[in-house]
Structure 1
Amino acid sequence: LIPLVFRLNYSASDTNDRNRVKSRLKKFISRRPSLKTLQEKGLIKDQIFGSHLHLVCEREKSTVPQFVRQCIKTVERRGLDVDGIYRVSGNLATIQKLRFVVNQEEKLNLDDSQWEDIHVVTGALKMFFRELPEPLFPYCFFEQFVEAIKIQDNATRIKSIRTLVKKLPRPNYETMKILFEHLKKIAAKESVNLMSTQSLGIVFGPTLLRPEKETGNMAVHMLYQNQIVELMLSEYNKIFGSEED
Structure 2
Amino acid sequence: MPSASCGVFPEFTLRKPSSETDIQNWASKHFNKHTQGLFRRKVSIANMLAWSSEPIKKPMIMTADRGVKKEAVEIFKLIQMYMGDRRARTDPLSVALDVAVKGWSCQGLRDELYIQLCRQTTENFRYDSLERGWELMAICLAFFPPTPRFHSYLEGYIYRHMDPLNDTKGVAISSYAKYCYRKLQKAALTGAKKGLQKPSLEEIKHARNAIFSPSMFGSSLEEVMALQKERELPGAGAALGEGVRDQTEIFRVPGDIDEVNALKLQVDQWKVPTGLEDPHIPASLLKLWYRELEEPLIPHEYYEECITHYDSPEAAVKVVLGLPHINKMVLCYLIRFLQVFAQPANVAVTKMDINNLAMVMAPNCLRCQSDDPRVIFENTRKEMSFIRGLVQRLDTSFMDGIL
TM class by shorter-chain length? Answer: 0.7 to 0.9
| Count of residue pairs the alignment pairs up | 211
Aligned to 1:176: 331
Counterpart residue number, 2:254: 89
Structure 1: which 4+ aligned runs deviate by more than 6 Å? 22-25
Q: 2:371 aligns with which of 214, 217, 234?
A: 214
Amino acid at match of 1:18: E
The Cα shift of 1:109 comes to: 2.6
In structure 2, relative to structure 1, the CA distance for the partners of 1:219 and 1:26 (3 Å cut) is same
Aligned match of 1:54: 222
Give the counterpart letter for 2:221 in structure 1: L
Report what 2:320 is aligned to: 165
Are 2:342 and 2:353, in contact at CA under 8 Å, matched by a contact in 1? yes
**Is the alpha carbon distance of 1:177 and 1:81 closer, same or farther for their aligned partners in structure 2, counting shifts above 3 Å?**
same
Amino acid in structure 2 at the alignment position of 1:125 = L
Match of 2:282 among 121, 136, 145: 121
Percent sequence identity is 21
Structure 1 residue 158 displacement after superposition: 2.5
The answer to whether the Cα contact below 8 Å between 2:263 and 2:273 also exists between their aligned partners in 1 is no
Pair 1:24–1:220, CA change in 2 (3 A): closer
> What is the letter of the counterpart of residue 289 of structure 2?
F
Instruction: Report what 1:18 is aligned to.
Output: 54
How far apart in 2 are the matches of 1:89 and 1:125?
11
Tell whether the 8 Å contact from 1:187 to 1:195 is kept in structure 2 after alignment. Answer: yes
1:131-210 paired onto structure 2 within 5 Å: 131-150=292-311, 157-188=312-343, 189-210=346-367
Corresponding position of 2:270: 106
**CA distance in 2 between partners of 1:67 and 1:187 (Å):** 23
Letter in 2 for 1:147: T
Which structure carries more helix by proportion?
A: 1
8 A Cα contact 1:158 1:235, kept in partner:
yes
Calculate the TM-score normalised by the size of structure 2: 0.47
Q: Cα distance, 1:64 vs. partner?
A: 1.5
Question: Root-mean-square deviation (CA), in Å?
Answer: 3.1
Matched residues in 2 for 1:116 and 1:24: separation? 51
Q: CA deviation at 1:88?
A: 1.1
Q: Whose RCO is larger (CA < 8 A, sep 6+)? A: 1
Higher gyration radius (CA): 1
Aligned equivalent of 2:93: none
CA-CA distance at 1:149 after TM superposition: 1.5
* Deviation at residue 170 of structure 1 after TM alignment: 0.9
Cα gap change, 1:97 to 1:236, in 2 (>3 Å): same
TM norm structure 1: 0.75
2:394 aligned to which of 230, 236, 242: 236
Q: Distance in 1 between matches of 2:125 and 2:318?
A: 57
Is the 8 Å Cα contact of residues 267 and 273 (structure 2) preserved in structure 1? no
Q: Alignment partner for residue 384 of structure 2, among 221, 226, 231?
A: 226
Provide, for residues 50-78 of structure 1, a one-character-per-residue CA deviation record: whole Å limited to 9, x for no partner. Answer: 00112211221134200111112222xxx
Indicate the SS of the match to 2:271.
coil
Q: Which 5+ residue runs of structure 1 have no aligned equivalent?
A: 1-6, 9-15, 151-156
Distance across 1 between alignment mates of 2:342 and 2:305: 26
Q: What is the rounded CA distance, in whole Å, between the counterparts of 1:59 and 1:17 in structure 2?
A: 41
2: CA distance, partners of 1:80 / 1:163: 29
2:236 maps to 1:67:
yes
Structure 2: unaligned runs, 5 residues or longer = 1-36, 39-51, 56-83, 86-119, 132-169, 180-208, 399-403
Question: How far did 1:208 drift?
Answer: 1.2
Q: Distance in 1 between matches of 2:332 and 2:302?
A: 16
